[in-house]
Each structure stands twice: as structure tokens, then as C-alpha cells.
Structure 1
């Protein structure tokens, strides 16, 4: 079933996508947001480093407020996953899980990134209660605490070094460390306790993290576990229609200052457009993407009306 043509279709209901919706709909564009709040990386997080947010705020609550704003201004929201993207002339086709197909004048990709998981017991259950995938986001919550970082590469080492500025005790769990000489020397000169040749087996705790069980049988008594295995971009949809990724790591979408991708009419914002993984960046990019996508859609309509 093909729906009527929508000016702006936004894929992703996190901070970038919802901010894009607010700005696009206020430019008098028809806007459809596809996605679920709970799939956003901040849904299970706590926020305290965002401008105008006083103290520690629940990420899920911020998203609910954002969703209410977007819908109040006139955006439509479908809590559905997108299965396929296509292009027909100047229009884009979007197929969703319910079987519906949407035609869009512009697309905004704001799907965030899918963090690589340890896939061990306790990881999912304790997410947001001691388990984190972003040192830069959550380090401040672990002042004078004991923490562990799990990972083999530069992201894990850099995260462990950052945590030494906050935590009382930092452990780095790595099976096979693969970092450059300079970073390795910084690690050696730091207070980080390195556990080489071992890996995480289970994250322990009831209501919050209380320890990390290693496959060697040793248990680290820690208050937090940071999983730093890198981030895998949710790129399959984008690359299927020719959107280009960054040429260095191929892990995020290349955009310009207008959040435009290499394909006219497709924009990207938030984590999918690259680091830093911060809500402030996502919201800023969402603002720009929503504004620009609405302008582009309105230009297309004016041109077709005058033809």
C-alpha cells in the first residue's frame, strides 16, 4: 500500500530525529518519523551535561518530552522499523515492517549507531545501571568509584585513561591488545590495572553492577563496566541506495555543514554522522538537517507547481 507523498521522512526517533522533526514541521513541511524511542542510545541513560538540563535527568523522559513536542507541532510518528529504501526519480521509497510504503521528497537518516555488545549475562539487564558504552558520556557518574573497561583496541585504552581522571580504580580487561606505541606508553605510565589475556564472562549485580567475572575465574569488584568495542554504524539502509561512508573508517556517513550526504535529498544527523557521541551534537545536527530537508522539499514542490 503506497501512502501519499511526504515532504520529509525521518528514520530514527532519538534526539537527532525528533529535533529534525520539530524544525522541519515548523517550516510547513509534512513530516513522518519512523522509529521507536527505546531504540535510542539515551533511552536507558542519564543526562547531566546537556545545556539547560539541571542535575541528572532520565533519558527516556527527555525523549518522551521531545516526542510530545514533535507531534504537537504536527509531525506524524510511526513506531516501526524500516526494511528497505529505494529511489524513484526525485522521490524516495520507504518500506516499513507493517507492509506500508511511503514516498518521500527528502530523507533524514538519524538511526544512531548499534554498539557492539559483549553478549554476556548481566550486560543487557544492567544497562544504564552500571553498564555503559560511552566513557565520554558517563565517566562523571563514577567519581571515586571502581570501574572496568572491556576492549582490545584504542577506544578501550583511551577510555580507561580518561576514567583515571574520575574513578578511584580503573581496570582494563583485554584479550589481545592492539594499540599504537604512544597510547601503549601512556597506558604503562598510568594507574590503570591491565588484565591481559582474559575476557569478560559475566557482569554481576542485582539492581546495579557489583562486579565483573572474568573467564579466568577472577572477579573484579567494580561499580561500573564500560564496553568499548567500537561502534558499528547502522549503515545497511543508507549504503543500499548509494550513500557514502567516511573514507577512513567506513563507520559513519559523510555529511557537509548542511548535513547533506552525497545524494541530493538525503541528510544524516546524530551518531550515524560520526563522533562525538553526544546528545548536544545530535540535537544541533538534527536542527540543521530538519531545516535543510524542509527547504529542499518545499523547493521541489514550488518547481513542480510552476512547471
Structure 2
């Protein structure tokens, strides 16, 4: 069964940058879908006091208002994470955690930044020596070995499933799984050893990861630990797209139209670097929405 949909502009992220992009793109009469989970926005639990013309406003209220504004102009919202993005002849194919694929002419990345450190002993000292934050980037180094993925959302489950095709044994360390039924069913049907309700106490090894110590005291012998907390992040989604990042591989680089070096891909908000301010995110979202819509219209006219 074909489970694909065509859309002019797809937006990743439901924070202020993504919502403003959705408002401006939808107002230009193109089809818009916004993908992501509202409660994951850093604004959701914030209180706003420094945004022009607004004072003492709850972040979740602002997000809900922005969502309604965008919906009033025709934008659609799906509370799903994107697991993969593949270039197509006339745009990009986005595969979501429920198995749906969106064929988008233009793409706006407004996912914010991942603050996904565990903060446990050994994590920092063994980074690059068995500790990684990107399965898609480093997974192929662990062919035939035993590894663990730490996290309870889509990035962790998708990463663990990917690693079953590479590694000999895969552990998933998580508190309470927060994924779609589609991903949960794939996990249950696979070979991943799930440690639900577990937490990492330490990562140990001399010059290479040798074991993972759980809070329960259990020791898991392994050679690789992938920390994949939250939704699919920048590095995972950008790996196969050729998107230019800053020299430290943390942020997406854009021009004044919020366009990346890849045709049809735009970015806005914290994912483009500091300052971490809503005003910056909203402004960049506005610009990205306008030019992404213009790109989609131009492609449509040329077809």
C-alpha cells in the first residue's frame, strides 16, 4: 500500500521558528505540513518576558496560539518525528515514525538543538572511543560487535533497529518508551534487548569503551554506546544530505534567505546557532517560510 503524500513545504519542528515559518509559508497559498511534537519545544515549559510587545506569557500558550494561527492559514500538523530524509529528483522524501512518507518540494529544518548529554562518568573521556551521539554517522564501525543505545524516543529506537543490521547484539537502555505504535511493534518484533526502566550509571573502559554500568549495578560488556535522546537530531538527519554545518559540526549554516547549501532546504531558529532567543527564531522562521514557499512555487511553475 502506498503511504506517501505530496506537499509543497515540509517543516521539521513545532517551536517558534517552525510555527512562524508555517504561518508565512501557508499564507503564500502553498501546502504545508509541520512535523514534530509540541511538548518537546524548549519554549513549552518557558515563561516569556523579553519578546517585543508581550509580557509574562506562558510558553505553551504561545505555542498553541501559533499552531492555531498556522492552521487557520491551512498548515497541517502531525505529532510525529522524522526518521530519515532522502533526496528525490524534485525535492525530498521524509519518512516519519509511523511509516508515512512525505514528498516535499521544499524543506525547513527548525528542530532546535539537542542537549542530549547523559552527564555520567566516562561519557566525555570516551567520546570518539566508543561513545557516539549519532548511529547514522558511526554505526558502521561496530559490525559484529555488542553495542547499546541510550534513550526512550524515536531516535533511540530507530537507531537500535538500524544497529541490529550491523552489530551482533544491541541493547536499548531506556526509562519509559515514548514512541509510536509502529516503532514499538518493530522493536517488539526485532532482536533488540530492551532494558526498560533502566538508567546508565557509568561508561567504563581504558582507551576504549568496554562496559556499561546500569544504576541497578548490572554490567553490560560492549564496545559502543550511542546516546540518542529525543527525536532525530541535526547530525542524523543531515548526514546523507550534504548540508553544510559550522566548523564544530553543531549548527546549520544559512544565507540571508535562511537557505542552506542544498537547493530547497532552509533552516531557522536555534539549529542555526546562538543567540538562543525566541525573537531570533521567529524572525528566521518568517524568512525561511517566505523563501521556501517561493521555491516551491517556482518549481511548480517550471514543471
Short-chain TM bin? 0.5 to 0.7
Match in the other structure for 1:37? 38
Q: What is aligned with 2:78?
A: 78
Tell me the distance in 2 between the aligned counterparts of 1:91 and 1:234. Answer: 19
Partner of 2:60: 60
* Matched-pair contact (CA < 8 Å) for 1:26–1:73: yes
Q: Which residue of 2 aligns with 1:47?
A: 48
| Structure 1 contact 110–270 (Cα < 8 Å) conserved | yes
Deviations, residues 245-292 of structure 1 (Å, cap 9, x unaligned):
012x21100000000001000000000011111000000000000000
C-alpha spacing 1:60/1:117, structure 2 compared with 1 (3 Å): farther
Structure possessing the higher radius of gyration over alpha carbons: 1
Distance in 2 (CA, whole Å) between partners of 1:74 and 1:236 is: 30
Q: Which runs of 5+ in 2 are unaligned?
A: 121-200, 202-232
1:255 is aligned to: 254
| Kept after mapping to 2: 8 A contact 1:85/1:237 | yes
Structure 2 SS opposite 1:115 = coil
Mapping of residues 133-282 of structure 1, within 5 Å: 234-247=234-247, 249-282=248-281
SS in 1 for 2:242: coil
Aligned length: 192
| Separation of aligned partners in 2, 1:240 and 1:101 | 17
The equivalent of 2:91 in structure 1 is 91
Runs of 4+ in 1 over 6 A off after TM superposition: none
- TM-score with structure 2 setting the length: 0.61
Q: Do the aligned residues in 2 keep the contact of 1:235 with 1:252 (CA within 8 Å)? A: no
CA distance in 1, matches of 2:110, 2:14: 8
Contact 2:3 2:99 in 1 (8 A): no
What residue number does 1:134 align with?
none
User: What stretches of structure 1 of length at least 5 have no aligned partner?
Assistant: 121-200, 202-232
Cα drift, residue 235 of structure 1: 2.6
Equivalent position of 2:103 in the other structure: 103
2 CA distance for matches of 1:266 and 1:234? 13
Aligned-partner Cα distance in 1 for 2:84–2:78: 15
Deviations 1:103-133 (A, max 9, x none): 000000000001245659xxxxxxxxxxxxx
Per-residue deviation, 1:240: 2.4
Give the superposed CA RMSD.
Answer: 1.8
Give the C-alpha shift of residue 5 in structure 1. 1.7
SS in 2 for 1:240: coil
1:108-123 mapped onto 2 (5 Å cutoff): 108-117=108-117
CA distance, structure 1, for counterparts of residue 71 and residue 89 of structure 2: 30
Report what 1:294 is aligned to: 293
Q: Please state whether the residue corresponding to 1:254 is helix, strand or coil.
A: coil
* Displacement after TM superposition at 1:293 (Å): 0.2
Aligned to 2:20: 19
Contact 1:6-1:102 within 8 A present in 2 as well: yes
